[in-house]
Chains A and B, each alone.
Chain A
């Protein structure tokens, strides 16, 4: 089956620190990979995506590269801000047919950034 494993949280950083949140996956077929972010009191929203091996997704200073050889999709940001404090979810989709929108999520990683 399909599964996503994220690094244990919570992660606490000072402003302008470097961020890495690890994500590895197991999938049947060739998945698309995603990072979603959930700000306090809100629903999840798509942060970035990559649809094939070696693709790099990027948005708002965040980046993640689809590594097929290591089945990983680690999230990075060079300089975090207090406003980045949120819960981050790694997810995959093995599309096609009726499951094109069905995502498998990791457990989420809580990020807190202090001034």
Chain B
């Protein structure tokens, strides 16, 4: 079975450019999470969706960040404009209410470098 698929795996961009990260959750999973990982701050939850509806976006750093989930099989995280401090690994994860509570399945991450 395919796991959580993220793209791109690596992105290098210049400050001020728009960045779009994509995620395809595991089929049948109804929750989707976006995390950011940095050395300084560790793993931070940015936003999560249940049944395509954003439930908690309190972790989104600022208005430059936005996330959408137009359907059950696709989500995007957009940064516009990007800044060097946005450099991090961004993980998408999904889970199913029918599975183990708290078991998240993570993608391999998108490593973003903003110059």
Contact = CB atoms under 8 A, between A and B. Distances in A.
A93 B102 contact: yes
A51 interface: yes
Interface string A84-115: 00000101110100111111011110000000
B97 A102 contact: no
A49 B104 contact: no
A96 B112 CA distance: 33
B104 A101 contact: yes
Interface stretch (B12-20, B42-50, B80-88): B42-50
Interface in A35-50: 36, 41-46, 49
A90 B108 CA distance: 19
Contacts of B48: 101-102
Contact of B109 (A43, A51, A93): A43
B33 interface: yes
Interface string B82-102: 000000000101010100111
